[in-house]
Amino acid sequence: MESARHDLVILVNLQKIYNRIAAAIAQRQIPPQEVQQLQEENRTRELELEKIERQVAEHREELQEVQKKEKEWQIELEHFQGQKAIVTNEREFTAVISEIDYATKALTEASERRAELEAAIEQSTAEMESRRQARPEEEAAHKDVVDAWNARKADLLTEVHNLSIEAKKLEEELHPKHRSNFLRLLKSKHGTAVSPVVEKSCSVCHFSVRPHLRQRVRRCEEIITCEHCHRILYFEETIRAEPSEATTG
């Protein structure tokens, strides 16, 4: 029947439109290589900056502890230096000297560590500031690439919108039964409801189409589905042919 061929042509065109919609959506979700590279570079810079910030925080925390110990050892040293003046025998003098040496060594180590931490904090803080100041320049250099990608995403969104309108118009021309079946297959078959017969098989699931069934598909007098995957079958050359040619071909 001519109505079956009419609907089959529409179904094939609908599938092509939905393929274009899916491709446009996929393109919006996957940035081009240059944008992905910029995003990766930005992520790397952020991670490096976060690492420096953590190091500075750790150094500052340790610095507080070191400064506290430095004060404690300074007090300890002053205490034993005061004791040295009032010892009454050699044994006490030796003990005080030993404590003074120990406190002096500990104070020196604390002072050296404090200096190391202060230098590390100063260097890391300067590096963080340098990275933050460089960010606007980097963003400006990347602006053209990002703007082009944002414009492309907007174009793709418009394309999806226009294709969706076109699809809805075509769907209205279908017999309700065929429209319902197509939309159900489109959802259940991961976006592919229609499949051409290629080399005597369904081109999607590759299940062999029996000769008699192939003839029915070629005649376009009814909507025929694959016996295995249940997608709607068609011959590309039959769809492109004029109705009279398709019937006699």
Question: Residue 209: which of 187, 188, 233, 190 has the closest Cα?
Answer: 233
- How many Cβ atoms from other residues are within 10 Å of residue 112's Cβ? 11
**Domain limits, the chain:** 2-20+175-248, 31-171
One fold for 2-20+175-248 and 31-171: yes
Q: Which residue has the higher pLDDT, 21 or 32?
A: 21
Q: How confident is the model at residue 22 (pLDDT cuts 50, 70, 90)?
A: very high
Cα separation of 77 and 104, whole Å?
7
Do 96 and 88 touch, CB atoms closer than 8 A? Answer: no
Q: Model confidence over 176-224: pLDDT tens digits?
A: 999 999 999 999 999 999 999 999 999 999 999 999 999 999 999 999 9
Cα separation of 102 and 25, whole Å?
72
Q: Model confidence over 114-168: pLDDT tens digits?
A: 999 999 999 999 999 998 888 877 788 788 888 999 999 999 999 999 999 999 9
DSSP 8-state secondary structure symbol assigned to residue 189: T
Q: Which fold has domain 2-20+175-248?
A: Helix Hairpins (1.10.287)
32, 67, 156 from 44: Cα distances, Å: 18, 34, 29
Region 31-171: CATH code: 1.10.287
Helix H, strand E, coil C: the string for 102-114 is HHHHHHHHHHHHH
